[in-house]
Amino acid sequence: MRIEVQYVQKRGISGWRYRRKVPSHLREVLGKTEIVIPLGASEKEAIKNYSRAHAEAERQLAEATSGPKAKPLPPLNPDVGLVTPFELAQSAASEIRALKLDRNWTGGGDPDERDPEEISREVIAETIMSKYPVDANGYPIGVSAQDAALARILLSGARLPRPNPTLRDAERLYLKEKVKGRPNEKKKELETKRAIAFISDTLERDPELISISRQDAREIRDAMLDRVKPTSAERYMNTINAVINHAIKEFELDTVNRFAGLAITKETAAKDDRLPYTPDQLSKVRARVLNRGSDDLKRIWRILEGTGCRIAEVTGLMVADTVTEGNLPHINLVFHPHRRLKTEGSIRKVPLLGDALAAAKEAIEATGDDPLLFAAYCRDRGPDAASAALMKHVRACVTDKKVTVHSLRHTMADKLRTAGVSAADRELVLGHASGKIGDNYGGDDARLKVATQALKKALR
Domains of the chain and any CATH numbers? 8-66 (no CATH), 78-159 (no CATH), 167-269 (1.10.150), 279-458 (1.10.443.10)
Q: How far apart are CA 151 and CA 370, in angstroms?
A: 57
Which pLDDT score, from 0 to 100, does residue 236 have? 92
Among candidate residues 278, 230, 298, 269, the one with its CA nearest the CA of residue 410? 278
Q: Is 392 left (phi over 0), alpha (psi -120 to 50) or beta?
A: alpha
Which pLDDT score, from 0 to 100, does residue 66 have? 60
Which pLDDT score, from 0 to 100, does residue 338 have? 61
Instruction: Classify residue 334 by burial, with Cβ atoms within 10 Å: 0-12, 13-18, 19+.
Output: middle
CB 169 within 8 A of CB 158: no
CB 273 within 8 A of CB 229: yes
Q: How far apart are CA 438 and CA 154, in angstroms?
A: 62
> Is the pTM above the cut of 0.85?
no
Each residue's pLDDT tens digit in the chain (460 positions)?
343 456 788 776 668 888 888 877 777 777 788 888 888 888 778 777 777 787 788 778 777 766 555 554 444 333 344 678 888 888 888 888 888 888 888 876 665 666 788 888 888 888 888 888 877 767 777 778 788 888 888 888 877 778 899 999 999 999 999 998 887 788 899 999 999 988 988 887 888 999 999 999 988 988 888 778 888 889 999 999 999 999 999 999 999 999 999 988 644 434 456 789 999 999 999 999 999 999 999 999 999 999 999 998 999 899 999 999 999 999 998 877 666 555 566 788 999 999 999 999 999 999 988 899 998 888 767 788 888 899 999 999 999 988 999 999 999 999 999 999 998 899 899 986 544 444 556 678 889 999 999 999 999 8
Across 237-269, b (16+ Cβ under 10 Å) vs e yields bebbbebbbebbeebebeeebbbeeeebeeebe
Which pLDDT score, from 0 to 100, does residue 1 have? 32
Q: Are strands 34-40 and 16-21 parallel, antiparallel or unpaired?
A: antiparallel
Which pLDDT score, from 0 to 100, does residue 267 have? 47
Which pLDDT score, from 0 to 100, does residue 269 have? 38
